[in-house]
Amino acid sequence: MCYHTRRNEGRGLNLRAFRDTLALYATGVTVVLSRYGLATHGMTVNSFTSVSLRPPLVLFCADNRADTLKTVQQAGYYTVSILGEEHAWISQRFAVAGPQEDLLAEVRLGQGPASGVPYLSDALAFLECRVTDVIPAGDHHIVVGEVEHLGRLNPHRPLIYFDHRYRRLTPEP
Ligand SMILES: Cc1cc2nc3c(=O)[nH]c(=O)nc-3n(C[C@H](O)[C@H](O)[C@H](O)COP(=O)(O)O)c2cc1C
């Protein structure tokens, strides 16, 4: 479908076109977790990316309404767990707002050495990040973190998100 002449209420870009076009940028899928006091909270994130090598910075973008954003801001730390191809169900579960006690009891958790913030032990890898900047950007905030610890955990193939659907990497012949 060609969207380029369609407009959103005469006020700029067509939002459907915006979403559908960006959906053609294939990404991995992560779960961002944070913990403040006794409360652990997490969300599925595919806006994760690296920013800087020296110092080692990464970022993700969080909807202003996300409970995880509040927890991350309070805690000052978060972990990023990179999901494998068999973890679409984990991605789906962490993409639902609301209480997460049951979900957190269903997944295996490790603890970031610096902060104690949990990560998913069954992920491909985890990063433990100290929040350095939280920048408002439209209806999201950009959360920049300095990576203090990381680890490769399991040799799965990655979960891919492309064109609004989960995908797998086709093994090379
Ligand atoms: C594959 C996938 C990727 C997502 N990526 C993001 C993201 O990068 N940023 C974001 O704010 N929400 C993202 N979401 C939606 C959040 O996971 C969802 O809004 C979640 O309910 C927020 O949880 P919370 O309000 O409990 O923190 C994504 C959802 C899916 C399924």
pLDDT tens, position by position, 37-73: 999 999 999 999 999 999 999 999 999 999 999 999 9
**pLDDT interval class at 3 (50, 70, 90):** low
Q: Would you say domain 27-159 falls under CATH 2.30.110.10?
A: yes
pTM of this prediction? 0.94
Per-residue pLDDT at 94 = 98
CA torsion sign for 52, 53, 55, 57 is: positive
Close Cβ partners of 117 (under 8 Å, ≥ 6 residues apart) = 33, 34, 35, 40, 75, 77, 78, 79, 111, 128
Instruction: Give the chain's mean pLDDT.
Output: 94
Q: Cα angle vertex 126, ends 123, 132, to 5°?
A: 145
Model pLDDT for residues 127-141, shown as the tens digit of each residue: 999 999 999 999 999
Residues with CB under 6 A from ligand 1: 29, 41, 43-47, 60-63, 66-68, 91, 94-97, 161
For the CA of 92, the nearest atom of ligand 1: 31
Tell me the percentage of the chain whose pLDDT exceeds 90: 89
Chain centroid to CA 14: 25
Distance from Cα 14 to the centre of ligand 1, integer Å: 22
Q: 12: pLDDT confidence band, cut at 50, 70 and 90?
A: confident
pLDDT value at residue 64: 98
Q: Which candidate, 30, 34, 41, places its Cα nearest to that of 130? A: 34
37 alpha carbon – ligand 1 mean position (Å): 22
Contacts of 158 (CB under 8 A, 6+ apart): 28, 29, 82, 83, 84, 85, 124, 169
Q: For the residues 95-113, what does the mean pLDDT come to? A: 96
Q: Are strands 27-28 and 57-63 parallel, antiparallel or unpaired?
A: unpaired
Rounded mean pLDDT of 138-145? 98
Q: What is the pLDDT of residue 11?
A: 67
Domain coordinates in residue numbering, the chain: 27-159
Give Cα separations from 79 to 7, 86, 94 (angstroms): 39, 20, 14
- Tokens 């609004």 found at: 164
pLDDT above 70: percentage of residues in the chain = 94
Taking residues 100-113, what's their average pLDDT?
Answer: 96
